[in-house]
Amino acid sequence: SQQGEEDPQALSIQEGENATMNCSYKTSINNLQWYRQNSGRGLVHLILIRSNEREKHSGRLRVTLDTSKKSSSLLITASRAADTASYFCATGGGSYIPTFGRGTSLIVHP
């Protein structure tokens, strides 16, 4: 299965700390996307990284991709209570449909 799997399943930190979550997948990909979902709401696209890229930044977000290890990480720096949400990776490979994992639930305590 090409489905990404996020790790850890849950993460609890204090405001101001950095949050790191990981995504592993099994087959080759063309790109990997990260999404955020606030409780009971739809997903919001955060960032896309292509297979020929190793690192990408967007504001307080930093995404890395290691295709040799078939893994990606999402780093949120200087976290805020508003970052509390679930974070999903979605892998894009031969199929045009991104495949989502179960997500990492992040809680940022004020």
Partner 1 sequence: ETGVTQTPRHLVMGMTNKKSLKCEQHLGHNAMYWYKQSAKKPLELMFVYSLEERVENNSVPSRFSPECPNSSHLFLHLHTLQPEDSALYLCASSQDLRQGYEQYFGPGTRLTVT
Q: Does 57 bind partner 1 (CB under 8 A)?
A: no
Q: Are strands 85-92 and 71-76 parallel, antiparallel or unpaired?
A: unpaired
Q: 17-56: which residues touch partner 1 (CB under 8 A)?
A: 30-31, 33, 35, 40-45, 48, 50
Residue 107 lies near partner 1 (rule: CB under 8 A): no
Whole-angstrom Cα distance, residue 76 to residue 61? 5
If binding is defined by CB under 8 A, does position 59 make contact with partner 1? no
Site for partner 1 contains 3 (CB under 8 A): yes
CA 22 to chain centre: 7
Contacts of 7 (CB under 8 A, 6+ apart): 21, 22, 23, 24, 104
β partners of residue 105 = 10, 86
Q: How far is the CB of 17 from partner 1 (least distance, A)?
A: 26
Question: Is residue 81 classed as helix, strand or coil in its secondary structure?
Answer: helix
Contact set for partner 1, span 73-102 (CB under 8 A) = 88, 92, 96-102
Q: Smaller CB distance to partner 1: residue 7 or 15?
A: 7
Binding site for partner 1 (CB under 8 A): 3, 30-31, 33, 35, 40-45, 48, 50, 88, 92, 96-102
